[in-house]
């Protein structure tokens, strides 16, 4: 079977985002960009499933500006077989991303789509669930373990009170949580080889999907700044301070 | 505007995570609580939901297909009820986050994730970039689908209401997924997201035994919940449902004590709205000190037992 892995180019997770002074958004010009960390985990899982013989082909897909091709090359260097870039400079919300992915799923008929559980820029945590809804397929969200057996997939999910295991009929949609695996680094030879792998470029219009945002961002502001704190020199001082503030009896 | 609220429940009781959602929903319009579950447990949870102040009506959907809150079965139920409601609100718990986007896509609307305030009938604020920016967004969709960050809204009073309970027809099993098992983590301490005090440990705790030996007595002394950084969870010091941060749980207790936690962006995203933050770390340049109200630069292996003994 085929596995499709959608990946997103986002501001690098180590970069502290700066809000633009005009309140229109976060400044991403001249900021280091990388593959969304959860998507790296999704790519790794797809490649591991291929290495185990559970999948024949891994297709990486990204929706975004021309530069998102770099993110796809990273996925190819990790081991994906080919890539599709749906190029647009517009902001694409999870619902629109899910609609484009739905069309790709119709074309490619994958057995599994593995996404990251959330992107670290919009923190939405929606696209996988939405894709599952639109394709009418089951969803295994926040996955920490994925086992394919016959025509079903067993997914262990990280839930608030522990971990839950569900069985889903294939084809299915899975979203990766942090503890699913440890993504590999692309080696230099593989980075070189990735440059020769196929990368097809298309546009949202090719799929007939309207990507007009449903949400209007009125403003983006910095979170409230915390008052500067104090440093104490000893545990006794700390205890005294906590008592003075009424934090402990 | 009539607002449908997904009630999170377990063992016949309404989970606390539901209460702030009722508060957020009440800001939009009359609140109708939806209890989807199986058998006597669901019935008891519906009766409990009927006593939440601000709930006008409870809808009870009882069916074996809803026993484990599988999104494939619950989402179509919610969609069928949305013909009569204008908004669907769910807690931003793993249950809510699993179900709500599936509902939104079936209704062809964009979900608004983890709102932290209601600014108008269609305008909300929500944190983005791990809480490093707050966006105000306005929906252009006809219906609203929203998840609510519990720590940002007051809890509705669990008593004082007297709503009627009405049964709704269940749609049954979609036949796409099935529940296999739940491995619940044992936890005798307060629930992390609603605790008044949280004591969290990081990588500096060395191993699971040391974590247990230093963090737990301090937490027990304070009647606190135990939290952890991603590093501590990844290293196996404690199970992952204790993780505080962008990808773990969001907490905002009265007192948050960070022990041996450096304070990465992703961790701060989960706790920086705490009322009082105390940091104990031997590295005086650790970023946690930039947001801590009280910082103690000290070796935690000496300071924590001393602190435990003196409070």
pLDDT digits (tens, 9 = 90+) for A59-89: 999 999 999 999 999 999 999 999 999 999 9
Looking at the structure, do residues B14 and B120 belong to the same domain, yes or no? Answer: yes
pLDDT (average), residues B51-66: 97
Report how far residue A72's alpha carbon sits from residue A76's, in angstroms, rounded to the nearest whole number.
6
Is pLDDT of A227 > 90?
A: no
Give the residue from B140, B148, B145, B150 showing the smallest Cα distance to B101: B145
Is pLDDT of B242 > 80?
A: yes
* CB interface of B with A, residues 229-288, below 8 Å: 230, 233-234, 239-241, 246-247, 249, 254-255, 265-266, 272, 276-278, 284
Asked if residue B126 belongs to a domain, the reply is yes
Report how far residue A110's alpha carbon sits from residue A98's, in angstroms, rounded to the nearest whole number.
15
- Count Cβ atoms below 10 Å from residue A144 Cβ, excluding itself: 18
Indicate which CATH number applies to the domain containing B115: 3.40.50.620
CB B216 within 8 A of CB B228: no
Q: Pick the last residue of a domain from B167, B182, B202.
A: B167
Q: What is the mean pLDDT of chain B?
A: 96
Looking at the structure, do residues B18 and B111 belong to the same domain, yes or no? Answer: yes
Sheet strands (E) in chain B: 3-6, 9-10, 13-14, 31-37, 55-62, 87-91, 111-115, 117-120, 123-128, 133-139, 144-148, 164-167, 177-184, 197-201, 225-228, 255-259, 276-281, 294-297
pLDDT of residue B169: 87
Residue B270: pLDDT band by 50, 70, 90 thresholds?
very high
**Closest approach of A197 to chain B, Cα-based (Å):** 32
pLDDT of residue A247: 85
Dihedral class, residue B39 (left if φ above 0, else alpha if ψ from -120 to 50, else beta): left
pLDDT of residue A133: 98
For B137, the closest of A123, A169, A215 (CB atoms) is A215
Digit-coded pLDDT (tens) for A12-21: 999 989 999 9
pLDDT of residue B66: 96
Asked if residue B156 belongs to a domain, the reply is yes
Residue B25: pLDDT band by 50, 70, 90 thresholds?
very high
For A17, the closest of B112, B133, B140 (CB atoms) is B133
Q: Which residue of B has its CA nearest to A137?
A: B176
Beta carbons of A232 and B296 less than 8 Å apart: yes
- Domains, chain A, ordered by start: 2-215 (3.40.50.620)
For B178, the closest of A117, A167, A215 (CB atoms) is A167
Report how far residue B127's alpha carbon sits from residue A220's, in angstroms, rounded to the nearest whole number.
9
Give the residue from B35, B44, B93 showing the smallest Cα distance to B63: B35
Using a CB-CB cut-off of 8 Å, the residues of chain B touching A121 are 128-129
| Residues written for chain A | 249
pLDDT (average), residues B16-39: 97
Judge whether B113 is closer than 8 Å to chain A, CB to CB. Answer: yes
Residue A248: pLDDT band by 50, 70, 90 thresholds?
confident
* CB interface of B with A, residues 178-237, below 8 Å: 178-185, 187, 193, 222, 230, 233-234
Asked if residue B77 belongs to a domain, the reply is yes
Beta carbons of B241 and A222 less than 8 Å apart: no
Instruction: Determine the Cα angle at A40 with ends A118 and A109, to 5°.
Output: 80
Is pLDDT of A249 > 90?
A: no
Residue B170: pLDDT band by 50, 70, 90 thresholds?
confident
Burial label for B159, CB within 10 Å (0-12, 13-18, 19+), is: exposed
Is pLDDT of B9 > 90?
A: yes
pLDDT of residue A158: 95
Looking at the structure, do residues B105 and B205 belong to the same domain, yes or no? Answer: no
Q: Are strands A9-11 and A33-35 parallel, antiparallel or unpaired?
A: antiparallel
Looking at the structure, do residues B63 and B161 belong to the same domain, yes or no? Answer: yes
Q: Give Dmax (Cα) for chain A.
A: 68
pLDDT of residue B247: 86
pLDDT of residue B274: 95
pLDDT: is B240 or A82 the higher one? A82
Is pLDDT of B187 > 80?
A: no
**Closest approach of B53 to chain A, Cα-based (Å):** 25
Asked if residue B174 belongs to a domain, the reply is no
Looking at the structure, do residues B110 and B223 belong to the same domain, yes or no? Answer: no
Is pLDDT of A246 > 90?
A: no
- Total count of domains within chain B: 2
Looking at the structure, do residues B245 and B149 belong to the same domain, yes or no? Answer: no
CB B156 within 8 A of CB B23: yes
CB A82 within 8 A of CB A108: no
Report how far residue A173's alpha carbon sits from residue A134's, in angstroms, rounded to the nearest whole number.
11
Asked if residue B15 belongs to a domain, the reply is yes
Q: Which residues contact B140 (CB under 8 A, 6 or more apart)?
A: A214, A215, A216, B122
CA R_g for chain B: 21
Asked if residue B25 belongs to a domain, the reply is yes
Is pLDDT of A228 > 80?
A: no
Looking at the structure, do residues B288 and B200 belong to the same domain, yes or no? Answer: yes
- Count Cβ atoms below 10 Å from residue B264 Cβ, excluding itself: 20
Please give the structure tokens belonging to residue A30: 């001249």
Looking at the structure, do residues B9 and B150 belong to the same domain, yes or no? Answer: yes
pLDDT of residue B191: 87
Instruction: Determine the Cα angle at B148 with ends A157 and A114, to 5°.
Output: 30
Judge whether B307 is closer than 8 Å to chain A, CB to CB. Answer: yes
Domain that holds residue B143: 3-167
Looking at the structure, do residues B11 and B153 belong to the same domain, yes or no? Answer: yes
Looking at the structure, do residues B82 and B228 belong to the same domain, yes or no? Answer: no
Looking at the structure, do residues B163 and B198 belong to the same domain, yes or no? Answer: no
Q: Which residue of A has its CA nearest to B94?
A: A159
Give the residue from B119, B116, B138, B139 showing the smallest Cα distance to B128: B116
Please give the structure tokens belonging to residue B176: 């796409």
Q: Which residue of A has its CA nearest to B296?
A: A232
Which of the given ranges, A141-155, A226-240, B180-194, has the highest pLDDT on average? A141-155
Looking at the structure, do residues B106 and B210 belong to the same domain, yes or no? Answer: no
Tell how far CA A149 is from the center of its chain: 25
Q: What is the 3-state secondary structure (H, E, C) of chain A?
A: CEEEEECCEEECCCCCCCECCCCCCECCCCCCEEECHHHHHHHHHHHHHHHCCCCCEEEEEEEECCCHHHHHHHHHHHCCCEEEEEECCCCCCHHHHHHHHHHHHHHHCCCEEEEECCCCCCCCCCHHHHHHHHHCCCEEEEEEEEEEECCEEEEEEEECCEEEEEEEECCEEEEECHHHCCCCCCCHHHHHHHCCCCEEEECHHHHCCCCCCCEEEEEEECCCCCCCCEEECCHHHHHHHHHHCCCCC
Give the residue from B85, B161, B149 showing the smallest Cα distance to B118: B149
Indicate which CATH number applies to the domain containing B229: 3.40.50.1220
CA R_g for chain A: 21
Buried b (16+ CB within 10 A) or exposed e, B103-132: bbbbbebbbbbbbbebeeebbbbbbbbbbb
pLDDT (average), residues A114-143: 98
For A139, the closest of B102, B141, B222 (CB atoms) is B102
pLDDT of residue B171: 85
Asked if residue B177 belongs to a domain, the reply is no
Report how far residue B281's alpha carbon sits from residue B291's, in angstroms, rounded to the nearest whole number.
13
Dihedral class, residue B264 (left if φ above 0, else alpha if ψ from -120 to 50, else beta): beta
pLDDT (average), residues A31-53: 97
CB A4 within 8 A of CB A72: no
Helix (H, G, I), strand (E, B) or coil at B31: strand
Q: Sign of torsion, CA A118 A124 A129 A131?
A: negative
Residue B286: pLDDT band by 50, 70, 90 thresholds?
very high
pLDDT (average), residues B109-115: 98
């Amino acid at each position: 079977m085929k596995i499709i892995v959608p990946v997103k180019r986002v501001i690098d997770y180590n970069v502290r985002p700066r809000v633009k002074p005009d309140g229109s958004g976060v400044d991403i010009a001249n900021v280091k960009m990388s593959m969304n960390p959860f998507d790296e985990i999704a790519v790794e899982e797809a490649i591991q499933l291929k290495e185990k013989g559970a999948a024949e082909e891994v297709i990486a897909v990204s929706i975004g500006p021309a530069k998102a091709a770099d993110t796809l090359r990273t996925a190819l260097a990790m081991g994906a077989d080919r890539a599709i870039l749906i190029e647009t400079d517009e902001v694409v919300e999870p619902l629109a991303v899910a609609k484009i992915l739905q069309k790709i799923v119709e074309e490619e008929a994958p057995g599994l789509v593995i996404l990251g559980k959330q992107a670290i820029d919009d923190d939405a945590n929606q696209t996988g669930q939405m894709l599952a809804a639109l394709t009418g397929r089951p969803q295994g969200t926040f996955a920490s373990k994925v086992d394919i057996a016959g025509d079903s997939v067993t997914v262990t999910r990280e839930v608030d009170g522990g971990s839950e295991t569900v069985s889903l009929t294939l084809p299915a949609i899975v979203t990766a949580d942090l503890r699913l695996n440890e993504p590999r680094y692309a080696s230099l030879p593989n980075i070189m080889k990735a440059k020769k792998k196929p990368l097809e470029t298309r546009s949202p219009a090719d799929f007939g999907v309207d990507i007009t945002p449903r949400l209007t961002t009125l403003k983006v502001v910095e979170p409230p700044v915390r008052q500067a704190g104090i440093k104490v020199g000893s545990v006794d001082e700390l205890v005294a301070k906590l008592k003075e503030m009424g934090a402990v009896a | 505007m009539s607002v449908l609220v997904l009630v999170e429940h377990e063992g016949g009781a309404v989970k606390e995570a539901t209460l702030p959602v009722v508060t957020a929903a009440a800001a939009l319009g009359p609140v109708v609580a939806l209890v989807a579950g199986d058998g006597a447990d669901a019935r008891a949870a519906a009766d409990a939901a009927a006593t939440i102040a601000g709930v006008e009506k409870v809808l009870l959907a009882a069916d074996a297909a809803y026993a484990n809150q599988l999104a494939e079965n619950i989402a179509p139920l919610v969609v069928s009820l949305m013909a009569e409601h204008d908004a669907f609100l769910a807690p931003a718990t793993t249950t809510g986050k699993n179900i709500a986007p599936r509902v939104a896509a079936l209704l062809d609307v964009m979900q608004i994730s983890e709102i932290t305030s209601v600014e108008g009938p269609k305008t909300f604020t929500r944190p983005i970039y791990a809480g490093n920016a707050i966006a105000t967004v306005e929906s252009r969709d006809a219906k609203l689908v929203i998840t609510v960050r519990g720590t940002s809204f007051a809890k509705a009073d669990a008593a004082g209401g007297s709503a009627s309970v009405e049964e709704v027809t269940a749609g049954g099993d979609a036949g796409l997924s099935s529940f296999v098992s739940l491995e619940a983590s044992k936890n005798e301490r307060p629930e992390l997201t609603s605790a008044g005090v949280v004591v969290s440990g990081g990588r500096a705790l060395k191993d699971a035994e040391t974590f247990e030996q230093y963090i737990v007595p301090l937490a027990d002394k304070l009647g606190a919940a135990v939290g952890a950084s991603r590093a501590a969870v990844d290293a196996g010091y404690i199970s992952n449902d204790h993780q505080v941060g962008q990808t773990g749980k969001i907490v905002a207790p009265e007192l948050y004590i960070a022990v041996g936690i450096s304070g990465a962006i992703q961790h701060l995203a989960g706790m920086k709205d705490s009322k009082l933050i105390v940091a104990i770390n031997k590295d005086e340049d650790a970023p946690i000190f930039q947001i801590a109200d009280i910082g103690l630069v000290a070796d935690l292996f000496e300071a924590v037992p001393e602190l435990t003994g003196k409070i």
